[in-house]
Amino acid sequence: MSSIKIFQTHESLERTYLDYIYYSFAIGTDNISHSTFNRNLSNEISIIHRKLSNETFQFTRYKLNLLSKGRQKFPREIYIPTIRDRVVLKTIHLYLQDLYFNELDYKMPQVIIKEITESIESYNSYIKIDIKNFYPSIDHEKLLTLLKEKIDCEYSLKLIRKALQPQKNEKIGGVPQGLSISNILASIYLYQIDKAFQNKGNIRYFRFVDDILILCNESEIETLKTKINKEFSNLLLEIHPITKKSKSQSGNIRNNIIEYLGYSFQGDIITVRKSTINNLYSSIIQCFSKFKYSKNKNIGFLLFQLNLKITGCIDEGKAKGWIFFFSQINDLILLKKLDLFVAQNWKKFNVDPNYLKFLKKFTKAYHEIRFNFKKSNYFNNFDSYNFSQKIGLLENIFNVSTSGLSEAEINEIFKIKTKSQINKLLIDLRNFS
């Protein structure tokens, strides 16, 4: 199968919207909101289906959002498509995912970190690769040539090309970040790199999107450096020089701190990168500050927010949150410091001490994830809420009056309110690489 049209029936397009986009509230350059699109859902899907069927679909100019990467760094350019475009982009993503199922090895960061911890003792050296300006540097023609190896449908290739460059008079370099197809196109582009290094039996090669780490022995470093530069040059990509003070590095595993995917390997200690910890501290302080200056000091909402940051949650069958992402650390001292930090700020911001007993702990959450996850009820599982629990959460935590609302309306508001909080959990992990 190499045609995208199998994914483009009216029913499949509507299902794609409902499954992946319905609770996404970003507004593109057409200014059509989530609620407006929903009111005209059948008509909107019909328009998308018709334009895809007769091959006249055009992507609208993406909205540009600049995301700060910190002081003295250029911001990351994130592109926001319209809702219509998001439906088509997700359709392309699902198509590529199906097409490249056997080639692309999708692993969660936690799984990669676990594999690193299990194999790191077998090597004495490492190489960490940082690609200069990766997404904007992906060559369109090179990418499309690679895609043609699997796709023989001109219509599918044309649609992908349009997604990369929605407006002829507005040039976007490389692959726009923020689209549902961004990461899979990046992985397809780097697949040749994967093949070149995964099959070498004397090293361990790890990649998550554009973050690459190689475990090796000292005698192989120079040979690997030469091969790395050659392979990336073939893809028209440039990496930072592999030197001690560069973003790309190599060295002895025991004598260096290795930072990868937000984790920090420091000898026998596996912890969290300092800047990532500071992000979490800041987000915790923000919860207390908002509570302090709010007119209606809802301690229940403060507890809800803090406990969500501490334990994460289960939503749509997936474990989400800071502690789940960093569940592979062994730095228990850090977790105790985090618990102390929350308790100290509870006192500092003069929050009623009688409610402190309802505050959850990082240490407990970590223990439950590692040793008792399947049986644990320590985590907020939004999938398991019954109707009365949903009403209780909306009434007591979000101050939403449910009187007179239908069950469908209550379920809708519950999903919207919880999604808005869950999305904030991802901010704590931003820029982990």
**CA 215/CA 118 separation, integer angstroms:** 12
Give the pLDDT score at 6.
59
For the CA atoms of 116, 104, 127, 428, the dihedral, rounded to the nearest 10 degrees, stands at: -70
Do the Cβ atoms of 187 and 209 come closer than 8 Å?
yes
Q: HSE on the CB side for 355, CA within 13 Å?
A: 14
Task: Quote the distance between the C-alpha of residue 160 and its chain's center.
Answer: 22
- Residues in CB range of 74: below 8 A, 6 or more apart: none
DSSP code, position 74:
P
> How does pLDDT run across 356-379, given as a tens digit for each residue?
999 999 999 999 999 999 899 999
Residue 44: CB atoms within 10 A of its CB come to 20
**Which H or E run contains 259?**
strand 257-260
Task: Quote the distance between the C-alpha of residue 22 and its chain's center.
Answer: 18
The burial of 304, by beta-carbon neighbours within 10 Å (0-12 exposed, 13-18 middle, 19 or more buried), is given as buried
pLDDT along the chain (433 residues), means of 10: 66 94 91 93 95 93 85 83 97 94 88 95 95 95 95 91 88 92 96 90 92 95 94 95 87 94 94 95 96 92 97 93 96 98 97 96 97 93 96 96 95 94 71 47
* Per-residue burial over 390-405, b = 16 or more CB atoms within 10 Å of its CB, e = otherwise: bbebbeebbeeebeee
**Which H or E run contains 285?**
helix 274-293
Give the pLDDT score at 153.
86
Determine how β-strand 211-216 pairs with β-strand 249-252: unpaired
**Alpha helices, H only, 331-376:** 332-348, 362-371
Task: Quote the distance between the C-alpha of residue 404 and its chain's center.
Answer: 38
Give the pLDDT score at 426.
63
Give the pLDDT score at 429.
54
> How does pLDDT run across 9-37, given as a tens digit for each residue?
899 999 999 999 998 889 999 999 988 99
